[in-house]
Structure 1
Amino acid sequence: MNNHEIDYKIYGDDMQFVEVELDPKETVVAEAGSFMMMEDDIHMETIFGDGSSGGSGGGLMGKLFSAGKRIITGESLFMTTFTNTGAGKKHVSFASPYPGKIIPMDLSELGGKIICQKDAFLAAAKGVQVGIEFQRKIGVGFFGGEGFIMQKLEGDGLCFVHAGGTIIRKELLPGQSLKVDTGCLVAMTSSVQYDIEFVKGVKTAMFGGEGLFFATLRGPGSVWIQSLPFSRLASRVFAAAPSRGGAKDEGSIARGIFDMFNGD
Protein backbone atom coordinates (compact mmCIF):
# COMPACT_ATOMS: atom_id res chain seq x y z
CA MET A 1 0.00 0.00 0.00
CA ASN A 2 1.41 3.40 -1.03
CA ASN A 3 -1.47 5.36 0.50
CA HIS A 4 -2.18 5.94 4.16
CA GLU A 5 -4.92 3.63 5.46
CA ILE A 6 -7.60 5.74 7.13
CA ASP A 7 -10.90 4.98 8.87
CA TYR A 8 -13.96 7.20 8.56
CA LYS A 9 -17.59 7.78 9.49
CA ILE A 10 -20.16 9.82 7.54
CA TYR A 11 -22.73 11.89 9.45
CA GLY A 12 -25.95 13.55 8.31
CA ASP A 13 -28.42 13.02 5.53
CA ASP A 14 -28.63 15.90 3.03
CA MET A 15 -25.85 18.14 4.40
CA GLN A 16 -23.26 15.52 5.24
CA PHE A 17 -19.78 15.64 6.67
CA VAL A 18 -17.16 12.91 6.94
CA GLU A 19 -15.11 12.31 10.09
CA VAL A 20 -11.71 10.74 9.36
CA GLU A 21 -9.87 8.82 12.06
CA LEU A 22 -6.09 9.14 11.86
CA ASP A 23 -3.58 6.88 13.55
CA PRO A 24 -0.28 8.49 14.65
CA LYS A 25 1.64 9.88 11.63
CA GLU A 26 -1.28 9.28 9.27
CA THR A 27 -2.27 12.10 6.91
CA VAL A 28 -5.36 13.03 4.95
CA VAL A 29 -5.36 15.61 2.14
CA ALA A 30 -8.43 17.75 1.50
CA GLU A 31 -9.78 20.33 -0.90
CA ALA A 32 -9.16 23.88 0.32
CA GLY A 33 -12.25 25.17 2.12
CA SER A 34 -13.72 21.78 3.03
CA PHE A 35 -12.32 21.69 6.60
CA MET A 36 -14.93 21.55 9.38
CA MET A 37 -13.22 20.65 12.69
CA MET A 38 -10.29 18.73 14.18
CA GLU A 39 -8.96 17.53 17.52
CA ASP A 40 -5.70 18.45 19.27
CA ASP A 41 -2.36 17.14 17.95
CA ILE A 42 -3.47 17.33 14.30
CA HIS A 43 -1.09 19.49 12.28
CA MET A 44 -2.62 21.39 9.35
CA GLU A 45 -0.43 22.47 6.43
CA THR A 46 -1.23 24.15 3.11
CA ILE A 47 0.63 22.64 0.17
CA PHE A 48 0.90 22.88 -3.60
CA GLY A 49 -0.96 20.21 -5.55
CA ASP A 50 -2.22 16.98 -4.04
CA GLY A 51 0.69 16.12 -1.76
CA SER A 52 1.25 12.75 -3.43
CA SER A 53 4.97 13.50 -3.62
CA GLY A 54 5.15 14.05 0.11
CA GLY A 55 4.18 17.72 0.35
CA SER A 56 7.72 19.07 0.84
CA GLY A 57 9.31 16.55 -1.49
CA GLY A 58 9.40 15.98 -5.21
CA GLY A 59 11.37 19.12 -6.10
CA LEU A 60 10.19 22.53 -7.24
CA MET A 61 9.22 21.42 -10.76
CA GLY A 62 7.15 18.54 -9.38
CA LYS A 63 5.27 20.91 -7.09
CA LEU A 64 4.64 23.42 -9.88
CA PHE A 65 3.42 20.70 -12.25
CA SER A 66 1.09 19.27 -9.60
CA ALA A 67 -0.32 22.72 -8.82
CA GLY A 68 -0.63 23.54 -12.54
CA LYS A 69 -2.85 20.50 -13.09
CA ARG A 70 -5.23 21.83 -10.46
CA ILE A 71 -5.40 25.25 -12.10
CA ILE A 72 -6.41 23.63 -15.40
CA THR A 73 -9.29 21.79 -13.71
CA GLY A 74 -10.52 25.06 -12.20
CA GLU A 75 -9.66 24.06 -8.63
CA SER A 76 -7.71 26.02 -6.02
CA LEU A 77 -3.95 26.25 -6.39
CA PHE A 78 -3.53 24.83 -2.89
CA MET A 79 -4.67 21.82 -0.92
CA THR A 80 -4.46 21.16 2.82
CA THR A 81 -2.96 18.19 4.65
CA PHE A 82 -3.94 17.10 8.16
CA THR A 83 -1.41 14.92 10.00
CA ASN A 84 -1.83 13.23 13.38
CA THR A 85 1.27 14.22 15.37
CA GLY A 86 0.01 12.76 18.66
CA ALA A 87 0.32 9.36 20.28
CA GLY A 88 -3.29 8.17 19.95
CA LYS A 89 -6.07 8.18 17.39
CA LYS A 90 -7.33 11.63 16.37
CA HIS A 91 -10.24 12.86 14.26
CA VAL A 92 -10.67 15.54 11.60
CA SER A 93 -13.91 16.32 9.75
CA PHE A 94 -14.73 17.71 6.30
CA ALA A 95 -18.10 19.12 5.21
CA SER A 96 -19.92 18.92 1.89
CA PRO A 97 -20.22 22.29 0.06
CA TYR A 98 -23.93 21.96 -0.82
CA PRO A 99 -26.84 19.49 -0.28
CA GLY A 100 -25.99 16.02 -1.49
CA LYS A 101 -24.06 12.90 -0.55
CA ILE A 102 -20.46 12.05 0.25
CA ILE A 103 -19.34 8.87 -1.52
CA PRO A 104 -16.38 6.89 -0.11
CA MET A 105 -14.38 5.17 -2.85
CA ASP A 106 -11.63 2.62 -2.27
CA LEU A 107 -9.41 2.98 -5.33
CA SER A 108 -7.79 -0.41 -4.69
CA GLU A 109 -11.20 -1.98 -5.46
CA LEU A 110 -11.87 0.23 -8.50
CA GLY A 111 -8.85 -0.52 -10.66
CA GLY A 112 -6.71 2.19 -9.08
CA LYS A 113 -8.36 5.04 -10.97
CA ILE A 114 -11.68 6.87 -11.26
CA ILE A 115 -12.69 9.79 -13.47
CA CYS A 116 -15.05 12.37 -11.95
CA GLN A 117 -16.49 15.81 -12.53
CA LYS A 118 -14.12 18.66 -11.77
CA ASP A 119 -15.58 19.82 -8.44
CA ALA A 120 -16.41 16.38 -7.01
CA PHE A 121 -13.24 15.68 -4.98
CA LEU A 122 -13.52 16.38 -1.24
CA ALA A 123 -10.70 14.55 0.59
CA ALA A 124 -8.47 11.48 0.37
CA ALA A 125 -5.78 9.49 2.12
CA LYS A 126 -2.34 10.94 1.52
CA GLY A 127 -0.82 9.38 -1.59
CA VAL A 128 -3.92 9.59 -3.79
CA GLN A 129 -3.00 11.58 -6.89
CA VAL A 130 -5.45 14.23 -8.06
CA GLY A 131 -4.89 14.91 -11.74
CA ILE A 132 -6.65 15.76 -14.99
CA GLU A 133 -8.27 13.56 -17.62
CA PHE A 134 -8.55 14.97 -21.14
CA GLN A 135 -11.56 13.93 -23.19
CA ARG A 136 -10.23 12.85 -26.56
CA LYS A 137 -13.50 13.17 -28.46
CA ILE A 138 -14.32 16.70 -29.55
CA GLY A 139 -18.07 16.16 -29.07
CA VAL A 140 -17.52 15.28 -25.42
CA GLY A 141 -15.30 18.32 -25.00
CA PHE A 142 -17.75 20.83 -26.43
CA PHE A 143 -21.08 19.40 -25.29
CA GLY A 144 -20.33 17.08 -22.39
CA GLY A 145 -21.09 19.58 -19.65
CA GLU A 146 -17.64 19.10 -18.12
CA GLY A 147 -15.61 20.34 -21.09
CA PHE A 148 -12.43 18.73 -22.38
CA ILE A 149 -11.05 18.21 -18.90
CA MET A 150 -12.33 16.05 -16.06
CA GLN A 151 -10.66 15.10 -12.80
CA LYS A 152 -8.96 11.78 -12.17
CA LEU A 153 -8.08 10.19 -8.85
CA GLU A 154 -5.34 7.55 -8.89
CA GLY A 155 -3.80 5.34 -6.24
CA ASP A 156 -4.71 2.46 -3.96
CA GLY A 157 -6.23 4.36 -1.05
CA LEU A 158 -9.52 5.80 0.10
CA CYS A 159 -11.00 9.00 -1.32
CA PHE A 160 -14.23 10.92 -0.78
CA VAL A 161 -16.29 12.40 -3.60
CA HIS A 162 -19.27 14.73 -3.16
CA ALA A 163 -22.26 15.22 -5.49
CA GLY A 164 -25.75 16.74 -5.32
CA GLY A 165 -29.04 15.14 -4.38
CA THR A 166 -29.22 11.34 -4.24
CA ILE A 167 -26.38 9.25 -5.68
CA ILE A 168 -26.81 5.87 -7.34
CA ARG A 169 -24.09 3.48 -8.47
CA LYS A 170 -24.77 1.50 -11.63
CA GLU A 171 -22.77 -1.52 -12.75
CA LEU A 172 -22.51 -1.83 -16.54
CA LEU A 173 -21.79 -5.15 -18.20
CA PRO A 174 -19.54 -5.35 -21.28
CA GLY A 175 -21.36 -3.62 -24.13
CA GLN A 176 -24.21 -2.42 -21.91
CA SER A 177 -24.98 1.29 -22.29
CA LEU A 178 -26.69 3.92 -20.17
CA LYS A 179 -27.89 7.35 -21.32
CA VAL A 180 -27.83 10.14 -18.72
CA ASP A 181 -28.14 13.90 -18.58
CA THR A 182 -24.67 15.37 -19.12
CA GLY A 183 -24.72 17.18 -15.79
CA CYS A 184 -25.80 14.13 -13.78
CA LEU A 185 -22.63 12.13 -14.31
CA VAL A 186 -20.52 12.17 -11.14
CA ALA A 187 -17.81 9.58 -11.68
CA MET A 188 -16.90 6.43 -13.57
CA THR A 189 -14.18 3.81 -13.60
CA SER A 190 -11.54 4.11 -16.30
CA SER A 191 -12.94 1.12 -18.25
CA VAL A 192 -16.21 2.93 -19.05
CA GLN A 193 -16.46 4.57 -22.48
CA TYR A 194 -17.93 8.09 -22.41
CA ASP A 195 -19.53 9.78 -25.43
CA ILE A 196 -22.11 12.47 -26.24
CA GLU A 197 -25.18 11.96 -28.41
CA PHE A 198 -27.56 14.50 -29.95
CA VAL A 199 -31.19 14.22 -28.86
CA LYS A 200 -33.18 12.77 -31.75
CA GLY A 201 -36.29 14.55 -32.99
CA VAL A 202 -36.64 18.30 -33.56
CA LYS A 203 -39.59 18.68 -31.17
CA THR A 204 -37.83 16.78 -28.41
CA ALA A 205 -34.66 18.79 -28.86
CA MET A 206 -36.38 22.18 -29.03
CA PHE A 207 -39.24 21.79 -26.54
CA GLY A 208 -38.38 18.82 -24.35
CA GLY A 209 -36.65 20.95 -21.74
CA GLU A 210 -33.89 18.38 -21.27
CA GLY A 211 -31.22 19.97 -23.43
CA LEU A 212 -29.85 19.02 -26.82
CA PHE A 213 -27.35 16.37 -25.72
CA PHE A 214 -27.05 13.44 -23.34
CA ALA A 215 -24.12 11.31 -22.26
CA THR A 216 -23.81 7.70 -23.33
CA LEU A 217 -21.86 5.45 -20.97
CA ARG A 218 -20.84 2.03 -22.19
CA GLY A 219 -19.55 -0.79 -20.00
CA PRO A 220 -17.88 -2.64 -18.54
CA GLY A 221 -17.44 -0.66 -15.36
CA SER A 222 -19.09 1.35 -12.62
CA VAL A 223 -20.73 4.77 -12.91
CA TRP A 224 -22.12 7.10 -10.26
CA ILE A 225 -25.11 9.32 -11.13
CA GLN A 226 -26.43 12.32 -9.15
CA SER A 227 -30.06 13.41 -9.07
CA LEU A 228 -29.35 17.12 -8.52
CA PRO A 229 -26.34 18.67 -10.29
CA PHE A 230 -25.21 21.90 -8.66
CA SER A 231 -25.75 23.80 -11.92
CA ARG A 232 -29.41 22.73 -11.92
CA LEU A 233 -29.82 23.74 -8.28
CA ALA A 234 -28.19 27.11 -8.91
CA SER A 235 -30.39 27.82 -11.95
CA ARG A 236 -33.57 27.08 -9.97
CA VAL A 237 -32.47 29.35 -7.11
CA PHE A 238 -31.55 32.10 -9.56
CA ALA A 239 -34.88 31.78 -11.38
CA ALA A 240 -36.83 32.00 -8.10
CA ALA A 241 -34.93 35.04 -6.81
CA PRO A 242 -36.60 38.48 -7.16
CA SER A 243 -35.30 40.49 -10.09
CA ARG A 244 -33.41 43.74 -9.58
CA GLY A 245 -36.37 45.63 -11.03
CA GLY A 246 -38.47 44.75 -8.01
CA ALA A 247 -40.61 41.98 -9.51
CA LYS A 248 -42.79 40.47 -6.83
CA ASP A 249 -42.57 36.85 -5.78
CA GLU A 250 -45.08 34.89 -3.75
CA GLY A 251 -43.73 36.25 -0.49
CA SER A 252 -43.95 39.88 -1.54
CA ILE A 253 -47.52 39.44 -2.86
CA ALA A 254 -48.66 37.84 0.39
CA ARG A 255 -46.94 40.60 2.32
CA GLY A 256 -48.73 43.24 0.24
CA ILE A 257 -52.14 41.67 0.93
CA PHE A 258 -51.32 41.52 4.63
CA ASP A 259 -50.30 45.19 4.63
CA MET A 260 -53.49 46.18 2.79
CA PHE A 261 -55.72 44.59 5.43
CA ASN A 262 -53.69 46.29 8.14
CA GLY A 263 -54.20 49.72 6.60
CA ASP A 264 -50.63 50.16 5.31
Structure 2
Amino acid sequence: MQTSIIGTILPVLNVGLDAGEVLLSETGELSWKSPNVSLRTGIAAGGAGGFLGAVKRSLGGGGLFMTEYVAEGGPGFVAIAAKVPGHIEEHAVQPGRSYLVHRHGFLCGTQGISLSVVLQRSLGAGIFGGNGFLLQQVSGQGRFWVELGGEIVSHTLAAGEQIDVHPGHVGMFEDSVNFEITMLPGLRNKLFGGDGFFLARLTGPGRIWLQTLTLPNLAHALSPYLGGGAVAGAETGAAAGLAGQFIRKVFE
Protein backbone atom coordinates (compact mmCIF):
# COMPACT_ATOMS: atom_id res chain seq x y z
CA MET A 1 0.00 0.00 0.00
CA GLN A 2 1.42 3.37 -1.05
CA THR A 3 0.00 6.62 0.28
CA SER A 4 0.49 10.32 -0.29
CA ILE A 5 -1.14 13.42 1.16
CA ILE A 6 -1.67 16.12 -1.46
CA GLY A 7 -2.49 19.76 -0.74
CA THR A 8 -2.25 22.18 2.15
CA ILE A 9 -5.33 23.53 3.96
CA LEU A 10 -7.81 21.18 2.26
CA PRO A 11 -5.68 18.10 1.61
CA VAL A 12 -6.59 14.79 0.03
CA LEU A 13 -5.27 11.37 0.98
CA ASN A 14 -4.39 9.23 -2.04
CA VAL A 15 -4.05 5.48 -1.33
CA GLY A 16 -2.54 3.13 -3.87
CA LEU A 17 -3.77 -0.43 -3.37
CA ASP A 18 -2.11 -3.59 -4.65
CA ALA A 19 -4.40 -6.38 -5.92
CA GLY A 20 -6.45 -7.74 -3.02
CA GLU A 21 -5.49 -4.99 -0.58
CA VAL A 22 -8.27 -3.43 1.50
CA LEU A 23 -8.81 0.08 2.86
CA LEU A 24 -11.47 0.71 5.51
CA SER A 25 -13.43 3.92 6.09
CA GLU A 26 -16.75 5.16 7.32
CA THR A 27 -19.44 5.56 4.67
CA GLY A 28 -19.54 8.70 2.57
CA GLU A 29 -15.78 9.33 2.59
CA LEU A 30 -14.98 8.43 -1.04
CA SER A 31 -13.79 11.28 -3.27
CA TRP A 32 -12.57 9.35 -6.34
CA LYS A 33 -11.12 5.94 -7.21
CA SER A 34 -9.92 3.72 -10.04
CA PRO A 35 -12.66 1.62 -11.74
CA ASN A 36 -11.25 -1.72 -10.47
CA VAL A 37 -11.67 -0.76 -6.82
CA SER A 38 -14.92 -2.21 -5.51
CA LEU A 39 -16.87 -1.07 -2.45
CA ARG A 40 -18.25 -3.41 0.20
CA THR A 41 -20.48 -1.73 2.79
CA GLY A 42 -21.54 -3.55 5.96
CA ILE A 43 -21.80 -3.40 9.73
CA ALA A 44 -19.17 -6.05 10.55
CA ALA A 45 -16.16 -4.07 9.28
CA GLY A 46 -13.85 -2.19 11.62
CA GLY A 47 -13.95 -4.78 14.38
CA ALA A 48 -17.64 -4.19 15.08
CA GLY A 49 -18.36 -7.83 15.92
CA GLY A 50 -21.99 -7.76 14.81
CA PHE A 51 -24.92 -5.38 15.05
CA LEU A 52 -24.45 -4.38 18.71
CA GLY A 53 -20.82 -3.58 18.07
CA ALA A 54 -21.80 -1.39 15.12
CA VAL A 55 -24.36 0.44 17.28
CA LYS A 56 -21.70 1.05 19.92
CA ARG A 57 -19.36 2.40 17.26
CA SER A 58 -22.03 4.77 15.95
CA LEU A 59 -22.51 6.20 19.46
CA GLY A 60 -18.95 7.48 19.26
CA GLY A 61 -19.86 9.70 16.35
CA GLY A 62 -19.15 7.17 13.60
CA GLY A 63 -21.56 5.46 11.28
CA LEU A 64 -23.53 2.28 11.74
CA PHE A 65 -22.05 1.02 8.46
CA MET A 66 -18.48 1.06 7.20
CA THR A 67 -17.03 0.63 3.72
CA GLU A 68 -14.18 -1.56 2.53
CA TYR A 69 -12.38 -0.58 -0.69
CA VAL A 70 -10.83 -3.61 -2.43
CA ALA A 71 -8.53 -3.55 -5.47
CA GLU A 72 -9.56 -6.36 -7.83
CA GLY A 73 -7.55 -7.80 -10.72
CA GLY A 74 -4.60 -5.46 -10.26
CA PRO A 75 -3.42 -2.26 -8.57
CA GLY A 76 -5.90 0.53 -7.93
CA PHE A 77 -6.29 3.72 -5.96
CA VAL A 78 -8.72 5.50 -3.65
CA ALA A 79 -8.76 9.21 -2.74
CA ILE A 80 -10.37 10.67 0.38
CA ALA A 81 -10.51 14.45 0.72
CA ALA A 82 -10.61 16.50 3.91
CA LYS A 83 -14.00 17.97 4.82
CA VAL A 84 -12.77 21.01 6.76
CA PRO A 85 -9.64 23.18 6.53
CA GLY A 86 -6.90 21.36 8.36
CA HIS A 87 -4.48 18.47 8.07
CA ILE A 88 -4.47 14.72 7.49
CA GLU A 89 -2.00 12.66 9.52
CA GLU A 90 -0.95 9.00 9.40
CA HIS A 91 -0.47 6.92 12.55
CA ALA A 92 0.22 3.29 13.41
CA VAL A 93 -1.36 1.27 16.21
CA GLN A 94 -0.15 -1.97 17.78
CA PRO A 95 -2.02 -4.66 19.77
CA GLY A 96 -2.55 -3.65 23.36
CA ARG A 97 -2.43 0.06 22.57
CA SER A 98 -5.04 2.48 21.24
CA TYR A 99 -5.69 6.11 20.35
CA LEU A 100 -8.68 8.27 21.23
CA VAL A 101 -9.82 10.58 18.43
CA HIS A 102 -12.47 13.30 18.35
CA ARG A 103 -15.80 12.16 16.94
CA HIS A 104 -15.21 13.23 13.31
CA GLY A 105 -11.47 12.64 13.23
CA PHE A 106 -11.10 9.08 11.92
CA LEU A 107 -10.66 9.10 8.15
CA CYS A 108 -9.69 5.55 7.15
CA GLY A 109 -7.44 2.62 8.07
CA THR A 110 -5.95 -0.65 6.92
CA GLN A 111 -7.32 -4.11 7.63
CA GLY A 112 -6.86 -5.00 11.28
CA ILE A 113 -7.97 -1.61 12.55
CA SER A 114 -10.86 -1.62 15.03
CA LEU A 115 -13.05 1.45 15.58
CA SER A 116 -15.35 1.80 18.58
CA VAL A 117 -16.65 4.30 21.13
CA VAL A 118 -14.44 4.98 24.11
CA LEU A 119 -15.93 4.31 27.53
CA GLN A 120 -16.14 7.64 29.32
CA ARG A 121 -13.81 7.66 32.32
CA SER A 122 -15.87 10.10 34.34
CA LEU A 123 -19.54 10.95 34.53
CA GLY A 124 -18.75 14.62 34.00
CA ALA A 125 -17.01 13.90 30.70
CA GLY A 126 -20.09 12.21 29.33
CA ILE A 127 -22.55 14.85 30.50
CA PHE A 128 -20.63 18.12 30.25
CA GLY A 129 -17.84 17.47 27.81
CA GLY A 130 -19.77 18.38 24.68
CA ASN A 131 -18.90 17.10 21.22
CA GLY A 132 -15.22 17.18 22.07
CA PHE A 133 -15.70 14.15 24.32
CA LEU A 134 -17.75 11.94 22.05
CA LEU A 135 -14.54 10.10 21.28
CA GLN A 136 -13.70 7.25 18.95
CA GLN A 137 -11.20 4.59 19.97
CA VAL A 138 -8.85 3.24 17.32
CA SER A 139 -7.22 -0.06 18.27
CA GLY A 140 -6.06 -3.31 16.67
CA GLN A 141 -3.01 -3.43 14.41
CA GLY A 142 -2.25 -1.41 11.29
CA ARG A 143 -2.13 2.11 9.94
CA PHE A 144 -4.85 4.73 10.13
CA TRP A 145 -5.38 8.33 9.08
CA VAL A 146 -7.06 11.16 10.97
CA GLU A 147 -8.36 14.57 9.95
CA LEU A 148 -7.80 17.42 12.42
CA GLY A 149 -9.06 20.98 11.99
CA GLY A 150 -6.75 23.93 11.44
CA GLU A 151 -3.17 23.52 12.59
CA ILE A 152 -2.01 20.59 14.73
CA VAL A 153 -0.12 21.21 17.96
CA SER A 154 1.35 18.00 19.36
CA HIS A 155 3.05 17.55 22.71
CA THR A 156 4.35 14.67 24.81
CA LEU A 157 3.16 14.92 28.40
CA ALA A 158 5.48 13.59 31.07
CA ALA A 159 4.08 11.42 33.84
CA GLY A 160 1.83 13.63 35.96
CA GLU A 161 2.12 16.62 33.61
CA GLN A 162 -1.23 18.28 32.96
CA ILE A 163 -2.81 20.64 30.46
CA ASP A 164 -6.29 22.18 30.44
CA VAL A 165 -7.89 22.31 26.98
CA HIS A 166 -11.21 23.54 25.63
CA PRO A 167 -12.99 20.27 24.72
CA GLY A 168 -13.35 21.11 21.03
CA HIS A 169 -9.59 21.53 20.64
CA VAL A 170 -8.83 17.98 21.78
CA GLY A 171 -7.96 16.24 18.52
CA MET A 172 -6.38 12.95 19.58
CA PHE A 173 -4.35 11.38 22.37
CA GLU A 174 -2.75 8.09 23.35
CA ASP A 175 -4.67 5.78 25.64
CA SER A 176 -2.03 6.25 28.37
CA VAL A 177 -3.25 9.85 28.80
CA ASN A 178 -5.98 10.34 31.38
CA PHE A 179 -8.72 12.91 30.84
CA GLU A 180 -11.25 14.43 33.16
CA ILE A 181 -13.53 17.45 33.27
CA THR A 182 -12.57 20.46 35.36
CA MET A 183 -14.74 23.51 35.90
CA LEU A 184 -13.57 26.90 34.67
CA PRO A 185 -12.69 29.01 37.75
CA GLY A 186 -14.55 32.22 38.56
CA LEU A 187 -18.28 32.95 38.30
CA ARG A 188 -17.77 35.88 35.93
CA ASN A 189 -15.56 33.71 33.72
CA LYS A 190 -18.34 31.12 33.53
CA LEU A 191 -21.15 33.56 32.82
CA PHE A 192 -19.50 36.21 30.67
CA GLY A 193 -16.21 34.77 29.43
CA GLY A 194 -17.68 33.00 26.43
CA ASP A 195 -15.50 29.92 26.99
CA GLY A 196 -18.17 27.69 28.52
CA PHE A 197 -18.19 26.18 31.98
CA PHE A 198 -15.80 23.26 31.55
CA LEU A 199 -12.31 22.38 30.35
CA ALA A 200 -10.73 19.04 29.59
CA ARG A 201 -7.76 18.22 31.81
CA LEU A 202 -5.30 15.85 30.13
CA THR A 203 -2.74 14.15 32.37
CA GLY A 204 0.38 12.35 31.13
CA PRO A 205 2.23 10.25 30.37
CA GLY A 206 1.53 10.16 26.64
CA ARG A 207 1.31 12.15 23.46
CA ILE A 208 -1.54 14.51 22.63
CA TRP A 209 -2.58 16.23 19.38
CA LEU A 210 -4.55 19.48 19.68
CA GLN A 211 -6.45 21.11 16.79
CA THR A 212 -6.68 24.88 16.40
CA LEU A 213 -9.96 24.90 14.43
CA THR A 214 -13.24 23.64 15.88
CA LEU A 215 -16.48 23.25 13.93
CA PRO A 216 -18.47 25.61 16.21
CA ASN A 217 -15.81 28.31 15.77
CA LEU A 218 -15.86 27.82 12.00
CA ALA A 219 -19.66 28.07 11.95
CA HIS A 220 -19.55 31.21 14.11
CA ALA A 221 -16.99 32.86 11.80
CA LEU A 222 -19.13 32.19 8.71
CA SER A 223 -22.52 32.96 10.25
CA PRO A 224 -22.50 36.71 9.41
CA TYR A 225 -22.28 35.79 5.72
CA LEU A 226 -25.21 33.35 5.74
CA GLY A 227 -27.82 36.12 5.86
CA GLY A 228 -31.20 36.12 7.57
CA GLY A 229 -33.10 38.65 5.47
CA ALA A 230 -32.82 40.39 2.14
CA VAL A 231 -29.32 40.33 0.73
CA ALA A 232 -28.14 43.32 -1.24
CA GLY A 233 -26.64 42.37 -4.56
CA ALA A 234 -26.42 39.13 -6.50
CA GLU A 235 -22.72 38.73 -5.68
CA THR A 236 -23.33 38.88 -1.93
CA GLY A 237 -26.25 36.47 -2.28
CA ALA A 238 -24.14 33.96 -4.18
CA ALA A 239 -21.41 34.14 -1.53
CA ALA A 240 -23.93 33.58 1.25
CA GLY A 241 -25.40 30.61 -0.62
CA LEU A 242 -21.99 29.01 -1.03
CA ALA A 243 -21.19 29.58 2.64
CA GLY A 244 -24.50 28.00 3.63
CA GLN A 245 -23.83 24.94 1.49
CA PHE A 246 -20.38 24.61 3.07
CA ILE A 247 -21.77 24.76 6.61
CA ARG A 248 -24.49 22.22 5.83
CA LYS A 249 -21.90 19.86 4.32
CA VAL A 250 -19.64 20.15 7.35
CA PHE A 251 -22.41 19.21 9.76
CA GLU A 252 -23.93 16.37 7.70
Pair in the same fold by TM > 0.5:
yes
Instruction: Specify every segment of 5 or more residues in structure 1 that has no aligned partner in the other structure, as ranges.
Output: 1-5, 54-61, 253-264
Correspondence for 2:86: 100
Q: Indicate which of 20, 45, 51 corresponds to 1:50.
A: 45
Deviations 1:141-195 (A, max 9, x none): 1221237742101012111111211112111010111111111001111110101
Q: Indicate which of 214, 222, 226 corresponds to 1:237.
A: 222
Q: Indicate which of 163, 179, 194 corresponds to 2:148.
A: 163
- Identity of matched residues, %: 29
Distance 1:44 1:201 in 2: 53
- Asked if the contact 1:49/1:77 (under 8 Å) is kept, the reply is no
Report deviation, 1:23. Answer: 1.9
**Root-mean-square deviation over aligned CA pairs:** 2.3
Correspondence for 1:260: none
Residue identity in the other structure for 1:93: A
TM-score (normalised: structure 2)? 0.85
1:134-213 to 2 correspondence within 5 Å? 134-146=119-131, 149-213=134-198
Q: Indicate which of 49, 69, 73 corresponds to 2:60.
A: 73
Report deviation, 1:239. Answer: 4.4
Distance 1:51 1:178 in 2: 32
Total equivalences in the alignment: 235
Q: Indicate which of 3, 11, 24 corresponds to 1:16.
A: 11
Distance 2:185 2:150 in 1: 28
Which SS does the other structure have where 2:153 is aligned?
Answer: strand
Question: Is 1:30 aligned with 2:25?
Answer: yes
Instruction: Specify every segment of 5 or more residues in structure 2 that has no aligned partner in the other structure, as ranges.
Output: 237-252
Distance 1:7 1:231 in 2: 34
Deviations 1:32-62 (A, max 9, x none): 1111111232222112143447xxxxxxxx3
Report deviation, 1:96. Answer: 1.2
Distance 2:92 2:133 in 1: 26
TM-score (normalised: structure 1)? 0.81
The change in CA–CA distance for 1:168 and 1:50 in structure 2 (over 3 A counts) is farther
1:122-141 to 2 correspondence within 5 Å? 122-141=107-126
Report deviation, 1:246. Answer: 3.7
Which SS does the other structure have where 1:146 is aligned?
Answer: helix
Distance 2:172 2:44 in 1: 21
The change in CA–CA distance for 1:188 and 1:147 in structure 2 (over 3 A counts) is closer
The change in CA–CA distance for 1:247 and 1:199 in structure 2 (over 3 A counts) is farther
Which piece of structure 1 moves more, 205-214 or 118-127? Answer: 205-214
